[in-house]
Structure 1
Amino acid sequence: MTDPLALDAADPLAPFRDRFVETGAVSYLDGNSLGRPLKATADLMDDFIRTQWAGRLIQGWTDGWLEWPLTLGDRLGAIALGAAAGQVVVADSTTVLIYKLARAAVDARPGRRRVVLDTDNFPTDRYVLEGIAAERGLELVWIETDPTEGIHPEQVAEAVDERTALVLFSHVAYRSGWLADVAEINRVAHEAGALTMWDLCHSAGSVPVELDAWGVDLAVGCTYKYLNGGPGAPAFAYLRGGLQNELRQPIQGWMGHRASFEMGPGYEPAKGARALLSGTPPILAMVPLHANLDVLAEAGIERVRAKSLSLTSYVLELADEWLVPEGVEVVSPRAPERRGGHITLRRPGFEQLLEPLWNSGVIPDYRRPDGLRIGPAPLSTSFAEVHRGLAVLRTLL
């Protein structure tokens, strides 16, 4: 078995662990659900409250707050999403942004009445599309995906045709960690004339993303997982520049108006990605993102991905030696090119182990019916921490 201390000693990203607030956990293995806070985030929050909020009060809006959805969006696009400036905004929740973009997409293809999605996508994606289909009289075309894998281009090719307005899938499957072939699926969907939309919640900040190069039309993701934005941190939306004059999002609020402070009698959308905004930006909730983008830019997304693959490979090594003999099944891709940032383990009765795991200071993620997700965050998780956590799980089994 590989020595975890040797792996940590050889890890070029190991010094970044010291930049995170200590949690007291023996092994935190749920970075794919909620990232740990940075020490710099605590300092930024304190400074923002005492200096910017208390010191400037309403004047802070003209000091730059109003532009944060766009400036942070541009930074996020450049550092983690492969998106040129002017296409990403930070605002709202993942659910709200999926609704905005999906509604805009199907309305922009009025002669097409079908939306393609898969049965194992994250619930909010499916629920939102079900609601839009009911609103607009659309037909949902469901692709049955293997929960141990994810969506394949061949499945998409069989499902799309001249009646398809939109396809929506996840870049990294939330259960298995399957990494989809975005570029090829986009090519297939575009050949049929459909728009493509991607959920990046389980990849942003962990897996390199190339939205522009892959030809993505629309994308949405959260900032509280690998981007360490904190509980309920705002999401982000990407709208390809070539579509910005064509798509019109349905929640028309004053921040998306071409001149918000004119307070005019009718809605006139702003140009570009600003038109995706609706209400007042959640400025306080955006503060942590400044700190994490600084760290992510310094570490580099390619090095983060390399560390992520090393961590999940180590999870697989420990699982094969310690857990598989105890009846545990690995239900995530073993091929690195098809694996996202987490590993899912399956065994009947895992739900009963959650409380004893937590009582032991080991915090994985659980997904029904019987899956434990092991999600080490590359910048904050050590190999020794993975070793400690899975050792406790082995003992409990």
Structure 2
Amino acid sequence: MTTTPDAVTLDAVDPLAAFPAKFVRSPEVRAYLDGNSLGRPTTASAEQLASFVSEQWGGRLIRGWDEAWYELPLTLGDRLGAATLGAAPGQTFIGDSTTVVLYKLIRAALTARPDRSEIVIDTGNFPTDRYLVEGIADELGKTLRWIDPPIDGGVTADHVRAALSENTALVVISHVAYRSGYLADMPGITALTHDAGALVLWDLCHSAGVVETQLDDWGVDLAAGCTYKYLNGGPGSPALGYVRAEHIETMTQPIQGWMGSSSPFEMGPGYAPHHGIRRFISGTPSIVGSLAMQDMLGLIEEAGISAIRAKSVALTEYALVLVDELLVPLGVTVSSPRDAAERGSHVTIDHESFANVNAELWKQGIIPDFRRPHSIRLGLSPLSTTFAEVQLGVEAIHAQMVK
């Protein structure tokens, strides 16, 4: 057992202590430490999803589009922008998968810099981002400039400065590195990119909902992210997209669907883009997939993103204290930044035994995340994760390693 401060005491003085009870908690799951992959459902969502079928879908049927659903990708986008992104209304939309939104925004950015031939991206970026950029570069004849960050870190301003040139059209970076949890310098890197005459697209998948972000104030051009991690929208819930106001009318997105046309219900013979951010919507949005996100946004609005970030830091700091005491002496390596200012809401640890350890933990109802070849990620979602879960999880890893 650890000699660090007791988790029960930490939970008792937690300013957000009332929030974990607002999430569905299965008795089979003793500790859930994978909120950076899939967030728990809220209890409000469990009730809303059931009532939606009978009252909204079943009761209103097709009338629901006129009454609320048609505007939902934009009204929900505005709400998300205000609560978590630092984005004024009219710049954020909900819809499609993260991959599709990233594709649309990357292509749109490149149309805005047609005389530039290079895209900057890093080898540590999430596979989807890298695969998309490779495919688009092949399609359009662009050159990739690769940044190779350390495995326990991420992309720094110095990395970007060295990769930029007069040929750079677009820089694509994750705000929080999916493996290490490294929190990139969004305002600094954005400013550097603009100084070179290029645009920047930030992937917010591992930061939206847990890291204070000011997209407008920091001059961000484009951003995309999923909503099923810290925004708790549920498996496959639709992605978010952000386009800075000054770019909306000048960029052309490549997937011209009927919901983004100027007159979607006219069913006209040709496509003309809608004014405003709606032009970045393509097909019919997922209404069911947007329901749970609304309930989570209610909790985020209630708690406040600053308090959520403070709890995130406290949870990851506590996890590191436990790891240092219990696991590092057994040969475990910490592969996340030690400085909280450079860390998102997950901690990555490495050991060659972790594939087997993780499998055993799952059997016990203790659920961290495993990444090949030998990483365990402790994904700590501030509103739903308790300090007791963190303690139980790290102690269980220790118990498996000394068996």
Cα distance between partner residues in 1 of 2:202 and 2:26: 32
Measured after TM superposition, the shift of residue 43 of structure 1 is 1.1
Cα distance between partner residues in 2 of 1:61 and 1:38: 25
Paired AA for residue 130 in structure 1: E
Q: Deviations over 1:308-362 (max 9, x none)?
A: 0000000000000000011101110111111110000011121121221111111
1:282-301 equivalences under 5 Å are 282-301=286-305
Q: After the TM superposition, which segments of 4 or more aligned residues of structure 1 sit over 6 Å from their partners?
A: none
Preserved contact between residue 256 and residue 271 of structure 2 (Cα < 8 Å): yes
- Structure 2 match to 1:10: 13
Paired AA for residue 24 in structure 2: V
- Indicate whether 1:20 and 2:33 are aligned: no
Q: Deviations over 1:251-280 (max 9, x none)?
A: 000000011011111110011110011101
Query: Could you say what secondary structure the match of 2:137 adopts?
Result: helix
- Structure 2 match to 1:320: 324
- Indicate whether 1:61 and 2:65 are aligned: yes
Q: Select which of 260, 265, 268 maps to 1:261.
A: 265
- Structure 1 match to 2:56: 52
Measured after TM superposition, the shift of residue 66 of structure 1 is 0.2
Cα distance between partner residues in 2 of 1:190 and 1:128: 23
Measured after TM superposition, the shift of residue 23 of structure 1 is 2.0
Measured after TM superposition, the shift of residue 144 of structure 1 is 0.8
Question: What's the % identity of the aligned pairs?
Answer: 54
Cα distance between partner residues in 2 of 1:220 and 1:396: 38
- Structure 2 match to 1:195: 199
- Indicate whether 1:225 and 2:229 are aligned: yes
Cα distance between partner residues in 1 of 2:324 and 2:257: 53
Query: Could you say what secondary structure the match of 2:314 adopts?
Result: helix
Q: Select which of 102, 109, 131 maps to 2:106.
A: 102
- Structure 1 match to 2:168: 164
Cα distance between partner residues in 1 of 2:154 and 2:165: 21
Cα distance between partner residues in 2 of 1:181 and 1:166: 17
Q: Deviations over 1:113-132 (max 9, x none)?
A: 10000000000000000110
Preserved contact between residue 33 and residue 367 of structure 2 (Cα < 8 Å): yes
Question: Aligned residue pairs: how many?
Answer: 397
Cα distance between partner residues in 2 of 1:15 and 1:355: 31
Q: Which runs of 5+ in 2 are unaligned?
A: none
Cα distance between partner residues in 2 of 1:183 and 1:147: 23
Cα distance between partner residues in 2 of 1:245 and 1:8: 48
1:122-133 equivalences under 5 Å are 122-133=126-137
Cα distance between partner residues in 2 of 1:212 and 1:367: 34
Q: Select which of 180, 183, 189 maps to 2:184.
A: 180
Query: Could you say what secondary structure the match of 1:15 adopts?
Result: coil
Q: Select which of 367, 372, 388 maps to 1:363.
A: 367
TM-score, length-normalised on structure 1? Answer: 0.99
Q: Deviations over 1:118-166 (max 9, x none)?
A: 0000000000001100111100110111110000101111111110100
TM-score, length-normalised on structure 2? Answer: 0.98
Query: Could you say what secondary structure the match of 1:78 adopts?
Result: helix
Cα distance between partner residues in 2 of 1:193 and 1:95: 26
Paired AA for residue 190 in structure 2: N
Query: Could you say what secondary structure the match of 2:165 adopts?
Result: coil
Q: Which runs of 5+ in 1 are unaligned?
A: none
Measured after TM superposition, the shift of residue 183 of structure 1 is 0.5
Preserved contact between residue 225 and residue 241 of structure 2 (Cα < 8 Å): yes
Paired AA for residue 18 in structure 1: A
- Indicate whether 1:241 and 2:219 are aligned: no
Measured after TM superposition, the shift of residue 303 of structure 1 is 0.3
Query: Could you say what secondary structure the match of 2:93 adopts?
Result: strand
Paired AA for residue 167 in structure 1: V
Query: Could you say what secondary structure the match of 2:236 adopts?
Result: coil
Preserved contact between residue 312 and residue 380 of structure 2 (Cα < 8 Å): yes
Cα distance between partner residues in 2 of 1:307 and 1:332: 18
Cα distance between partner residues in 2 of 1:128 and 1:187: 24
Preserved contact between residue 35 and residue 379 of structure 2 (Cα < 8 Å): yes
Cα distance between partner residues in 2 of 1:376 and 1:180: 19
Cα distance between partner residues in 2 of 1:284 and 1:63: 15
Q: Deviations over 1:51-99 (max 9, x none)?
A: 0111011011001100000000000000000000000000001000000
Cα distance between partner residues in 1 of 2:372 and 2:220: 31
